[in-house]
Structure 1
Amino acid sequence: MTKIRCLFVVLTLLACLVSTAQRKSLQAISVTENITVDGILDEEIWKTAPIGSDFVMFAPDNGKLVDETKKTNVQVVYNDDAVYIAATMYDNEPQKILKEVTQRDLFGTSEHFGVFINGYNDGQQDFRFFVSAANVQMDCVFTDQQGEDYTWDAIWESNVKITDFGWVAELKIPYAWLRFSEYPVQTWGINFYREFRRDRQQYTWNFIDAKIANESMQSGYLEGIQYIEPPTRLFFIPYSSFYYEDTARGAEQKFKIGMDIKYGISDAFTLDAILVPDFGQTRFDNVILNLGPFEQQFNENRPFFTEGTELFNKGNLLYTRRIGGTPSTYPVTGDNETVTEYPSAINLINAVKVSGRTKKGLGIGVLNAITERTSAVVLDTVSGIRRKVEVEPMANYNVLVVDQRFNQNSSVSLVNTNVTRGGSYRDANVSAAVFDLNTKKNTYNASGNFKYSYINELGNNPDYDGFSAALSLGETSGKFRYRVAGSYVSKDYDNNDLGINFLTNYHTLEAYGSYRILNPTKRFNTFTFYTEWYSEFQNTTGRMQQGTLNMYVNSTSRKNHYFGYGVNIRPFKTYDFYESLTEGRFVELPENYRGWVYFSSNYNYKFALDIQPALTLTSEKDRLNFEFFISPRYRVSNRVMLIYSYDYLYNKNNRGRIAFDGDDIIFARRDRDTHTHTIESKFAINNRMTVNLLARYYWSYAKNLAYEELQPNGKLAPSDYNQYLNVNFNSWNVDLSYSWWFAPGSQLSFLYRNNALSDKRNLGYIDKNLGDNFTDLFRGDLNNVFSVSIRYFLDYNNVKGWF
C-alpha cells in the first residue's frame, strides 16, 4: 500500500509538472450553422468541437490542479464574423453559486468566467472578456506594465444558464473588437479563467506561474482559425442630452447634440473622435479643504480621456484634467476693480486620438484636443462698468507616443507632449525617453526614463528648460524580490501645462525588498511583507527632504479576511522647501512615527466591514495625527447593496504657512478636524438596468491656536501677528442616476444632481456643531441639476445593410 501511495504521489507531481510547464493548445473549428447566444449549447457544433480542460489554480494555491467536482470544459468555434466560446462549468453545490447583479465592469460577489485573447500571440497585450453568473459583462485591455484597464469597452454578446450540475456561459466576440494579423492561418494566444467566488479561488486553463511577473507570456495557443478578414471597424455613437439647472442665480435649460466616432484605420490602429463633447453626467469631484502649497489632483472621469489610454500613460507625462481645466492666468485688476465672474473650466471644442500597435510590436499614439478662448468679468465698483478680460486663449494640446515592444516583455518609448496657446501666452513642450527591460525568463528588470521640458513664456519672463532622469534595477520573480532606484530632477523641470508635478530641484535614492508566500499555509491564503527605504535631498543645499523607512504586511486569512498593518518611520529631521512659497526658504520638520492597521472582512458575506485606524507621533510631543476609517456594507440581495463610509482625520498642532506680513512668512499652529461621510447604494433591476445613489458630505475646519514666524534656519518663532484666519469648509454632493443599456453599446440615462459648497475664511469663531454646519450649507448657493441623455451605438457593418 505504501508503494502504491508513493507511486500515486509521484504520478501526481509529474502530472502537475507537465500541466504547468507546457503551453496548452486548443483547436478552433469553423461553423456554418447559426449560433444563438443563449447559454444553451444545443447547436450541433458543440457536440463535436474540441474541448479544453484540466484547469490549474492561479490563486491562492498556485499550481494546484482543479478538483474533479469543479472542472471546466471550454470550446471555441468561429465563422466569418466572430469567435464563439462555450464554457461548461461544474459545481457540486450549484445552489450556492454566487450571482450578484452589478453594473458593467463591476465584478461584485459573483462567480466568473473569462477569456484572454492575444491575436498576435506576442505575449504583450490581452483583450480580456469576463461574464458573471448573473450575466454581467466586464472587459479590459491588459498589459503587464499597466495591468487591467477597464475603461476600454467592447460590444459583444453573452448569456449564462444555471444548471443542476453548475453553470454554462456562452460568448460571441466579434472580430471588430480584437486585433490580429492578416495571415491566412492564425495562431492566437489564449487563456481561460474561472473564479469560484465563494471559495475565493481562481483557475486558468493554461497555468500562470505566480513566480513569474508576466502573465501574457503564459497563455496557451488557439489554432485552427483560417481565412478570416478583419471587418471594417467604423462605429458612430450619436447622442443628445437635455439639462435643467436651478441655482440661486436662476434657472437655465440646455440641449446638446453630438457624436462620437470610432474608426479602424487598419487592423492595428483606431481613431477616436468626439464632436461637440458632453461630459455633464460624469462623476463629481471630491473637493477638499486644501491648505497646502500644491493644487488638489482630481481623478479623470470623462470617458474619452480614460478609455484606451495605456499608450498615453507612458512616462507619466499626461494629466488629462489640464485639458478643459481652469484658466492658466488671472485678470490684473486696477483700483476699485474686482473680478465678479471667473470660469471654473474651459470648454473643449473637440478631441481626437489615434492609437494602436502593429504585429511587430510598434505602438503609436496621437492625442489632440482644442479648447476655446475663455474670458473673466471685471467690475469697476465706482463706475459700475464691466469689462471682459481674456484669461485663456484658444489652445491646442497634443501628445505623441512611439512605443516599441520586443522579446515579448520589454519596451522602449519616446513621448512628447505639447501645449500651444494663441497670443502672448506661454507654450510648453516636454519630451521623454522611457524604457522597461526584462530578462527572457522575467527574472530581472531594468527601467528608467529621461525627460526634458522647455517653456516659452512669450512675454517679459525669460524662457527656461529643465530635465529629470530615473533608473530602477530589481529582481521581479520568486518569493524574495528587491529593487534599487534613484532619480534626479533639476530646478527648472516643468511639465505642468499638460502633466502634473509638485516637486523639483531634488534627487532620490531608494531600496525596496519583499517576501511573499506562493501557496497557502495553515494560517494564510496570501502573505506579503514589504520594506522600503526612501530618501530625498534638495539639490542646492543637500538637505534631506524625505527620509522614510516603510514596513508593511498584506495578508488574507484562510477564511479570506484581509489584514494589513505597517509602520512608517522618519528618524531624521527633514526640510520642506515648498510650504513657504518662497525660493530658498525652508521649514524644519520633526521626526515622526506612523503606525496603521487595516482589516477588511470577506465580501462574500452579506455584511462586511472595512476599518483602518492610524496614529502618527512626532518628536514634538504636542503634535500628532490621528486617522480613522470605517466602512460597513450590506448586500440586501443580489440586486440591492448599501455602503456607508466615514473617514475622520485629526491634526493636532499642525503647522502651515498662512500669510505674508511684509517680508515675514507667517505660519499658523492649528488644530484641524476633517469628517467625510459617504453613502453608496445600488438597485439592479436587471443586468442592463440599474439605479445608483452616491452622496458625499465633507466638513473640514482649521482653528489657529497661535502664529509663528519662519526663521532663516527653518525653525519657527512666536509672532505677534493677530489676524483672524480660521477656516470652515463644507461640501455636499449627491448623484441619483438611472441607467438602461437598451441595446448593445446604447444607453439611456437620467441623472439628478444636488450640490453645495461653503468656504468661510478669516473667521474669528468656528461653529463645531455638525448639525449647524450641515443645515447652514443648504442656505447658500444650492445647485439642482436634472439631465437626460441618450446614446445609440451604430456599427457600419450593420448600418450599410439598411440601404
Structure 2
Amino acid sequence: MKLKLTLFITSLFCFQITKAQEGQSLTKKVYTTKFINEAPEIDGEINDAVWKGLDWGGDFTQKAPTEGIAPTYQTKFKIGYDDKYLYIAIRAFDDEPEKIERRLSRRDGFAGDRVNVLIDSYHDKRTAFVFTTTAAGVKGEEIVTRNGNNWDASWNPIWYTNAVIDDKGWTAEMKIPFSQLRFGKAKEQVWGLNIIRQFFREQERSLWQRIPNNVAGFVSEAGELHGLIDLKSQKQLEIQPFTVLQYDSYEKEGNNPFRDGSDFKINGGLDAKIGVTNDLTLDLTINPDFGQVEADPGAIALDGFQIFFNEQRPFFVENKNIFDFRFANGPDNVFYSRRIGRSPQTNPDKADGEYADVPINTTIIGAAKFSGKTRDGWSIGVLESVTSSEYAEIDNNGARRKELVEPLTNYFVARAQKDFNERNSYVGGIFTATNRDLKGLNSLRKAAYTGGVDFRHEWDDRNYFIQGDFVASHVVGSKESIEATQRSLTHLFQRVDASHVEVDPNRTSLTGTGGRVFGGKRGGGNWRYWGGLNWRSPELELNDIGFLRQADEIRQFANVRYLWQNPTKIYREANVRMGVSTSFDFEGNYNRIQYTLRGNINWINNWWTELEFGHKPRIFINTFLRGGPRWRYSEENFAVLFFGSDRSKKLSFRAGTVQSVTKQDNFAFRRYVVGLNYQPFDALSASLETTFNENPNKTQYVTQVDYNGGKRYILGNIDQQTWATTLRLNYSINPNLSIQYYGQPFISRGRYSDFNFVNNSIAEDLNERVTWYNNNQITTQLDSDNAVEKYFIDENLDNANDYEFENPDFSVVQFRSNLVVRWEYIPGSELFFVWSQGRAAGADPRESLSRGLQNQILNEPLENTFLIKATYRFVR
C-alpha cells in the first residue's frame, strides 16, 4: 500500500507538471501618492480642498462572480500622506443608492457594502494589513499571512474612518497612523497595494489590481504604492491600564464556606505596546484580564482525548501567526497558548467533610511578547510568561490550610522565519521551554523543551510548492511523572500487543520527534493537487506548552482538486476534490485507509451546496482500549450534505446532515444542523443554530477490570444523543456602541445496555470481536432513586461475582450566556458592561433531553456574574 500511494503521488506530480496551464502574467498597476500639508476631516465626504491635489486611481476589474470583466459599478480612490498618517478617499459608484446595504455591526462585522484596503508595507508579497470600511462606517481590520491563505481579524489597531451615502453611491475616508503599520528604511518606500470592493446585493467583488483565478497567490499579486518619500519611523507607544469590578451570585451550597452565595472582586492591570523599531513591537502585560465575551462551546469526548479550543484572549491572539508552528494534521502545534493560564493540573487531597476552594485558572503574573517582521524578510517572535503558584484553600470545620495545586511556571517561546529567493522561499525555526518549580508536585513534569525547523519553497509563479516541518521534544521529571506520561492516552506505552514500546518506571526523560513533508500544485489552470506524509514518534510530547492529541503515528495523504472558476447560467463557481489517506504506527501496523470525494457549488442565485462521500475499509485504533490491544472497527461509509441560501439577504439559512453507517451496525453517527441568520433592520442582527447528534455504538468502551490473571475490557451498547443551540444577537447603536448577546444550552446523554467484553480485538466479524453477557451473568445494584448504581458480573456462572463496575450512564447539561454592552468612547479605549449566566451539572440519564435541560436550567437557579471593565489607551 505504501508503494502504491507513493507511485500515485509521483505520477500525479509528473502528469500535472507536464500538463499545467501557464498562469496569466499581468502588468502591476502603480499608484503614486503625494505629500499633503493639510489633513482632511475624516467625515466620509470627499470635499476637503486637500483631496483636489491628488490623482484618482481606478479601473477596477471583477474578481467574482466573473473574473476579468468590468464590475457592475466602478470604484476610484485617492491616497495622500503627511508625517504621521496615510489618508485614503474612496468613491464607490452606485446608480441605486437607496439599495446600498448599510448594515451596522460590531467592529470586524464585515456586513453590507464595503471596501478593503490591502497594504503590504513589508512588501514581502506574503503578508499584508487590511483596513475595511463599510457603507455604515463600521471599521474592520485583518492581518493577511501565507500569501492570502490566512486572514486574521483579531488585530485591532487605532485608526479612523467614516462613510456617507449620496446620490452617486457612497464615499469613505480613512486615516491610518504610520505607527500602526510596519515598514523598513528607504528613501522611497514601495508598498504592495490593492483595493477590494464588495458590492453586497449582487455578491460581486472587484479589485483595483486584477488577480486572475488561476494564479496561486493573493498578496503577491497586488499592485504597488509609490511616492512615499522620507517616511519617518513612527515608533509605537501605547499604554492601556484597565480596571475590572466583578460580582458573582450563586446558590449557597450547604455548609461550604467557600460557596456562601456571593463574591466580589476588584482587579486591575496594565497592557503596553512599545515600538522598538518600526518593524518590531514589544507587548507587555501585568496581571492581565483574559475575560472572553463568548464562552467555550459545550463538548464531551468519550474517547478520552483533550478537546481543542480556539484562543480568544487578545494578548495571545495578536501576531499569533508569527508563533504558529503546525507540523501534522489537525490542531497539533508546537505552541498552544491556552496552556498559559490553564486550570490547575492537580487536585487537593481532602478528607470527607472538608471543603476546598480551587482556583479556576492559574494567574498570569506577567507576560512579554516581542514580535514583528522586518523589511528584509525576518519574522521574529519571542514570548515570555510567568504564572504563579496556585493553592487550594481547604476548610475543616473552620480550620484552614493551603495545598499547592499548580506550581510557579515559566513559559518561553522563540520563533523566527527568513524569506529569501525573491520571497518565494523561507526557512524558520522555533524553540519552546517550560520550567516548573514543583515544590513536591512530582506528578507534573519538571521541564519540557521543543525545537523545530521549517521551510517552504515555491516556483513557477508560485504555482508549485514544497514544504517541510521537523520538531523534536524532550521532557524531564521525576520517575512518577515520566511513568505517567508513558501511560497517558497520548502515548500508551503499556499496550499489551505493542513490541516497540514498553513502560520503563525508572526513566526520568523522554525524547521524540515529529514532522511533515508535503507539496503540490496550488495555482495555474483548473487543476490543484498536493500530497505528503507526517509523523509523530512514540515519545513525542508537546502538551506542556503545545497541543498533541496522539503520538506514534505515520500518516500519508494525497489529494487532487478540479475547479470550475467561470460562471455559467447555472452556477457561479464549483469544485470537486478526491483524496486518500493511510496511517501506520511505528511498529508497522497498517491501521487505516480512507477515501473521500467532496465538492461544493455556488449556484447562480448565490445559494450553495456542499457534498462529501467517504469510505473507510480499514479502521484500527491503538488507543480505544486504553492500553489494551489494537481495536478494529467495522468498515464505515459516510455522507455529508450541507446547503444554504444567499447570505446577502436579510434572512438566510443553512442546513445539513452527516450520516455514517458501518457493517453489522457496529456504530453510527448522525448529525443534523439548522442555522438561521436574520437582520430585520440595519442595526440588529440575529443568528440561531441548532445541532442534534445521535451516536449509537454497540462497542463503546466502558472500563477494564482484572479477571483470571489478566484484563477484561468491558464495552457496552451506548445510545448517545447530544443537542446544542447557539443564539447570537447584536444591536449596534452606532459603530462604536453595541449590545451583544451570546447563549448556548448544551446537553449530552448516554445510556448503556447489552454489555460485552473483548474476545478477539482485531477480528473482522463483530460477533468474534466481542462476547455479550447473558442475563444470568449480570446483576444490578439500585440506589435510593431506584436507578442502577452498579453492575455485578458472574462470568463463569459459579454464583460468585467475578468483578463489578459502575453504571456508565451519563447526562451532562451546560448553559452559558453573556450579555455585553461595549462602548469605544474614544479610539482604542473601551467600556464594557457584562452580565453572564451559567450552570454546569449532571442530569438523570433516564430523562429525555428536554426534561434534563428543563430540570437543570429552567428549574434550578443559575450562577450570575456582573462585571464592569474600563480601559484607557494612552497613545504617543
Residue number among 315, 318, 336 corresponding to 1:319 in the alignment: 336
> Structure 2 counterpart of 1:295, which letter?
Q
Counterparts of 2:237 and 2:79 in 1: how far apart (Å)? 26
**Hey, what does 2:684 align to over in structure 1?**
640
**Map of 1:29 onto structure 2:** 34
CA distance in 2, matches of 1:243, 1:391: 24
State the Cα deviation string for residues 620-661 of structure 1 (Å, max 9, x = none). Answer: 236322110001222110111222211000112353222222
1:437 aligns with 2:457: yes
Residue in structure 1 matched with residue 732 of structure 2 by the alignment: 684
1:778 Cα offset (Å):
5.0
Match of 2:273 in 1: 262
1:267-278 matches, within 5 Å, as 267-278=278-289
Unaligned residue ranges in structure 1 (runs of 5+) = 1-16, 797-803
Please list, as runs of the form range in 1=range in 2, the aligned pairs for 1:360-375 lying within 5 A after superposition. 360-375=376-391
Aligned pairs (5 A) from 1:531-610: 531-544=578-591, 546-572=592-618, 574-582=619-627, 585-610=629-654
- From 756, 771, 780, the counterpart of 1:717: 771
> 1:172 matched to which residue of 2?
175
Which residue of structure 1 aligns with residue 330 of structure 2? none
Correspondence 1:488 to 2:490: no
1:158 and 2:170 equivalent? no
| 1:800 aligned residue | none
Q: How does 1:98-247 map to 2 (within 5 A)?
A: 98-108=101-111, 110-144=112-146, 147-247=150-250
Equivalence map 1:310-389=2 (5 Å)? 310-315=321-326, 316-331=333-348, 340-376=356-392, 387-389=401-403
Q: State the distance in 2 between where 1:75 and 1:605 align.
A: 31
Query: Could you give the per-residue CA deviations for residues 403-457 of structure 1, whole angstroms, max 9, x where no partner exists?
Result: 1112223321101111110135411111111112111511111011111010101
Residues 769, 434 of structure 1: alpha-carbon distance in 2 compared, 3 angstrom cutoff: closer
Question: How far does residue 543 in structure 1 lie from its aligned partner after superposition?
Answer: 3.1
Identical pairs, percent: 24
Q: In 2, distance between residues paired with 1:140 and 1:112? A: 14
Contact persistence 2:667–2:696 (CA under 8 A):
yes
Q: Measure the CA separation in 1 of the matches of 2:225 and 2:666.
A: 65
What pairs with 1:510-549 in structure 2 (closer than 5 Å)?
A: 510-544=557-591, 546-549=592-595
Q: Provide the rounded CA distance (Å) in 1 between the counterparts of 2:697 and 2:220.
A: 53
* Residue number among 54, 58, 63 corresponding to 1:49 in the alignment: 54
Number of the residue aligned with 1:753: 836
Letter in 1 for 2:544: D
2:294 partner SS: coil
1:459-470 equivalences under 5 Å are 459-460=479-480, 461=482, 462=507, 463-470=509-516
Of 818, 825, 850, the residue aligned with 1:735 is: 818
Is the 2:813–2:856 Cα contact (8 Å) retained in structure 1? no
Residue 777 of structure 1, aligned match among 848, 857, 862: 857
CA distance in 2, matches of 1:624, 1:264: 55
Change (3 A) 1:563 1:769: closer
Residues of 2 paired with 1:269 and 1:658: CA distance? 53
**Equivalent-residue separation in structure 2 for 1:590 and 1:637 (angstroms):** 51
> Which residue does 1:786 correspond to in 2?
866
**What amino acid is aligned across from residue 786 of structure 1 in structure 2?**
F
| Residue 329 to residue 209, structure 1, CA distance change in 2 (3 Å) | same
Q: Distance in 1 between matches of 2:392 and 2:622?
A: 33
Instruction: Measure, in 2, the Cα distance between the counterparts of 1:408 and 1:440.
Output: 13
Tell me which amino acid in the other structure corresponds to 2:433: N
Instruction: Specify the code of the residue in structure 2 equivalent to 1:263.
Output: I
CA contact (8 A) 2:123 2:375 kept: no
- Asked if 2 retains the 8 angstrom alpha-carbon contact of 1:20 and 1:206, the reply is no
1:577-628 CA deviation, whole Å, 9 max, x = no partner?
A: 112221x522211111111211121122222111002211111236322110
Matches within 5 A, 1:292-303: 292-303=303-314
Matched, 1:661 2:705: yes
Q: 1:141–1:223: structure 2 CA closer, same or farther, 3 Å change rule?
A: same
Assess if the C-alpha contact under 8 Å between 2:271 and 2:284 holds in 1: yes
Displacement of 1:706: 2.0
Asked if 2 retains the 8 angstrom alpha-carbon contact of 1:697 and 1:732, the reply is: yes
**Counterparts of 2:853 and 2:75 in 1: how far apart (Å)?**
57
Number of residue equivalences:
768
Conserved in 2, the CA contact under 8 Å of 1:181 and 1:267? yes
**Residue of structure 2 equivalent to 1:707:** 755
Structure 1 residues 98-126: Cα deviation after superposition (integer angstroms, max 9, x where no partner) = 11101101112x11111111223221211
C-alpha change, 1:329 and 1:105, in structure 2 (3 Å) is: same
618-627 vs 146-155, which moves further: 618-627
Distance 2:761 2:23 in 1: 67
Give the equivalent residue in structure 1 for 2:695: 651
8 Å CA contact 2:87–2:176 kept in 1: the answer is: yes
Residues 499 and 253 from structure 1, CA distance in 2 versus in 1: closer, same or farther, beyond 3 angstroms?
A: same
Aligned equivalents of 2:372, 2:568: Cα separation in 1: 44
Distance of 1:309 and 1:432 partners within structure 2: 17
User: Hey, what's the Cα distance between the residues in 1 that align with 2:343 and 2:185?
Assistant: 46
Cα offset for 1:489? Answer: 1.7
Distance 1:148 1:27 in 2: 27
User: 2:236 touches 2:274 (CA, 8 Å); kept in 1?
Assistant: yes
2:548 corresponding residue in structure 1: 501
Give the TM-score taking structure 1 as reference length: 0.92
1:386 CA drift (Å): 6.2
Quote the Cα distance in structure 2 between the aligned partners of 1:56 and 1:767: 60
Provide, for residues 559-591 of structure 1, a one-character-per-residue CA deviation record: whole Å limited to 9, x for no partner. 11111111121123x111112221x52221111
> 1:354 Cα deviation (Å)?
0.5
The question of whether the paired residues in 2 share the 8 Å contact of 1:149 and 1:308 is answered with: no
Q: Greater CA deviation, 670-679 or 112-121? A: 112-121
CA RMSD of aligned residues (A): 2.2
Residues 776/180 of structure 1: CA separation in 2 closer, same or farther (3 Å cut): closer
CA shift, 1:358, in A, is: 1.5
8 Å Cα contact 2:104/2:136 also seen in 1: yes
TM-score, length basis structure 2: 0.85
Report the AA paired with residue 741 of structure 2.
Answer: L
- Looking at structure 1, the residues matched to 697 and 726 of structure 2 have their Cα atoms a distance apart, in angstroms, of 27
Q: 612, 620, 630: which is aligned to 2:664?
A: 620
Matched letter for residue 259 of structure 1: L
Could you tell me how far apart the structure 2 residues matched to 1:682 and 1:386 are? Answer: 46
* Separation (CA, whole Å) in 2 of partners of 1:194 and 1:654: 54
Q: Amino acid of the residue matched to residue 792 of structure 1?
A: Y
Check 1:327–1:585 CA distance in 2 against 1; reply closer, same or farther (3 A cut). Answer: farther
Match of 2:4?
A: none
Whole-Å Cα distance in 2 between the matches of residues 781 and 388 of structure 1?
30
Deviation at 1:175, TM superposition (A): 0.4
For 2:846, the equivalent position in structure 1 comes to 766
Deviations 1:211-232 (A, max 9, x none): 1221111111111111220223
Distance 2:164 2:24 in 1: 29
Q: Which residue of 1 aligns with 2:518?
A: 472
| Equivalent residue number for residue 7 of structure 1 | none
- Superposed CA offset, 1:29-53 (max 9, x none): 1111231111222222322311111
2:9 alignment counterpart: none
> Which blocks of at least 5 consecutive residues in structure 2 are unaligned?
1-21, 252-258, 327-332, 483-506, 763-768, 779-790, 792-805
Q: 1:187 Cα deviation (Å)?
A: 1.7
